Amino acid sequence: PSWASAPTRKAWPRSRRAAQQAMPRTRPPLFNARKTHANRGNMTSLTLARPDDWHLHLRDGAMLRAVLPWTARDFARAIIMPNLMPPVVTGAQAAAYRDRIRAALPEGATFEPLMTLYLTEDTDPDDVAAAHASGLVKAIKLYPAGATTNSASGVTDFDAVRPTLERMAEIGLPLCVHGEVTDPDIDIFDREAVFIDRVLDPIRRATPGLRVVMEHITTSDAVDYARAQDDTLGATITTHHLVINRNHILAGGIKPHYYCLPVAKRETHRLALRNAATSGEARFFLGTDSAPHTDANKLLPCGCAGCFTAPNTLPILAQVFEEDGALDRLEAFTSRNGPAFYRLPVNTDTVTLTKGTPDLPTHIDTDEGPVTVFNPGFALHWRVT
């Protein structure tokens, strides 16, 4: 064959990775020069504005004391989930919980809990407005009744919460949404997509201006919906949903430590989440949904949902973004897009990640028993220094 007919490199089928990288993506400008070389391979150190966690379960009592130091080590602030038993429903309860969190902080830690209220059909719009005006509460959490852990007091009749949602739209207070229908006739893998059509979109249309965070999105349907909306809509993505798909839970034996809600979906959805998280687009930001349960409560015939990712989230994310050639967009995801949505300043202090094996436990001890740390299934090679 002559040279003219020999296949050129260009004509060869491209790998999926190469094809993805060639896809036009909107690349926001780099925020500062120090990460200009972030995607050229040999990065050994990366300094980010200190991250925030826009969805976190800290629990209470002994569990709070055991897990809080891990978040306070790497994060400046976190949106604190109100699904305690009983739930954090009123401003007074949120203030008391914030004080318990502050009291559980290690000496010298500067972590700031951003409190939320658990929306019920009895929520008083005036109490919500007062808790927001005082600066105490940064969001209201909507759990459809029965959707997940401690959600029994959540909402069944969405008309009953309309006055609160309207007041929130007026005052600019965001609604954080656990986006799954609870209808037993809907397959659990479809519950997020059906929620968008049946509940989320109708609520947003009926309440113009309401600022909504689609939390812990798990599907390409949610990514597509989020991308099609204006800037009143944000979406958080967890660490674990960037790493696992449903095979990790179910293939080769059942793995309770990978069971969380919304449950991880098929691989195409995980790839859509990776594309969204690493895109740098302002609407996507980190909410770990780090949700500690004791091993005793995970490893039951009816085990609890939740992955405990607070200790290793930053090393995992650095590796995920590095693998996808997007280290220069990690800071947008962990530290910039969330504050922009919540209209809060970006943290002025920083964290530095360096190449090297992190010194992380496989589980932590609590007075209630051990809690297993999420295992990403690959050896980590970034550590927080």
Could you list the residues that contact ligand DOR (CB under 6 A)? 57, 83, 148-149, 178, 260-261, 289, 291, 304-306
Q: Count the residues of the shown chain that bind Zn ion, applying the rule CB under 5 A.
A: 1
Q: What is the full DSSP assignment across 220-241?
A: HHHHHHHHTS-TTEEEEE-SGG
Nearer Cβ to Zn ion (83/123): 83
- Please report how close the Cβ of residue 243 comes to ligand DOR at its closest, in angstroms: 15
Q: Which is nearer to ligand DOR, 140 or 353 (CB)?
A: 140
Stretch that binds Zn ion, among 72-80, 268-276, 282-290, 342-350 (CB under 5 A): 282-290
CA distances from 132 to 82, 168, 214 (A): 15, 9, 20
Structure tokens of 294? 């004791």
> Nearest to Zn ion by Cβ — which residue?
289
Closer residue to Zn ion (CB): 151 or 319: 151
CA distance linking residue 172 with residue 212, whole number of Å: 10
Minimum Å gap between C-beta 81 and ligand DOR is 6
- The nearest distance, CB 360 to ligand DOR, in angstroms, is 21
Regarding 322 and contact with Zn ion (CB under 5 A), the answer is: no
H or E element in which residue 213 lies: strand 212-214
| Min separation Cβ 151 and Zn ion, Å | 10
For residue 289, state whether it binds Zn ion (rule: CB under 5 A).
yes
Which among 325, 206, 228 has a CA at the least distance from the CA of 214? 228
46 vs 212, beta carbon nearer Zn ion: 212
Q: Which candidate, 373, 350, 340, 375, places its Cα nearest to that of 174? A: 340
* CA-based nearest residue to 214, from 257, 180, 169: 180
Residue 64: CB minimum distance to ligand DOR, A:
13
Contacting range for Zn ion; rule: CB under 5 A; set: 229-237, 281-289, 355-363, 367-375: 281-289
Given ligand DOR, Zn ion, none, residue 265, with its beta carbon under 5 to 8 Å by kind, binds none
Q: How far is CA 268 from CA 219, 272, 325, 338, in A?
A: 8, 6, 19, 25
Catalytic residues: 289
- Strands 233-237 vs 371-372: parallel, antiparallel or unpaired: unpaired
Q: Taking CB under 5 A as the rule, does residue 324 contact Zn ion?
A: no
Strand partners, 113: 78
CB of 238 to ligand DOR, least distance (A): 9
- How many angstroms separate the CA atoms of 192 and 186, rounded? 10
List the single partner that 261 binds among ligand DOR, Zn ion, none, CB under 5 to 8 Å by kind.
ligand DOR
* Residue 378 to residue 361: CA distance in whole angstroms: 15
Q: Which is nearer to ligand DOR, 287 or 358 (CB)?
A: 287
Answer yes or no: are the C-beta atoms of 302 and 284 closer than 8 Å: no
Query: For residues 198 and 69, what is the distance between their CA atoms, to the nearest angstrom?
Result: 39
What is the rounded distance in angstroms from the CA atom of residue 316 to the CA atom of residue 308? 13
CB of residue 179 to ligand DOR, shortest distance in Å: 10
**Nearest partner of 238 among 79, 20, 95, 365, judged by Cα:** 79
Residue whose entry in the numeric block shows the structure tokens 């969405």: 158
**Residue closer to Zn ion, measured from CB, 192 or 289:** 289
CB atoms inside a 10 Å sphere around CB 344: 14
Q: Which does 260 bind (CB under 5 to 8 A by kind): Zn ion, ligand DOR, none?
A: ligand DOR
Smaller CB separation from Zn ion, 74 or 289:
289
Question: Could you say which of Zn ion, ligand DOR, none residue 165 binds, taking C-beta under 5 to 8 angstroms by partner kind?
Answer: none
Mapped onto helix, strand or coil, the DSSP state of residue 362 is coil
Q: Which spans of this chain sit near Zn ion (rule: CB under 5 A)? A: 289
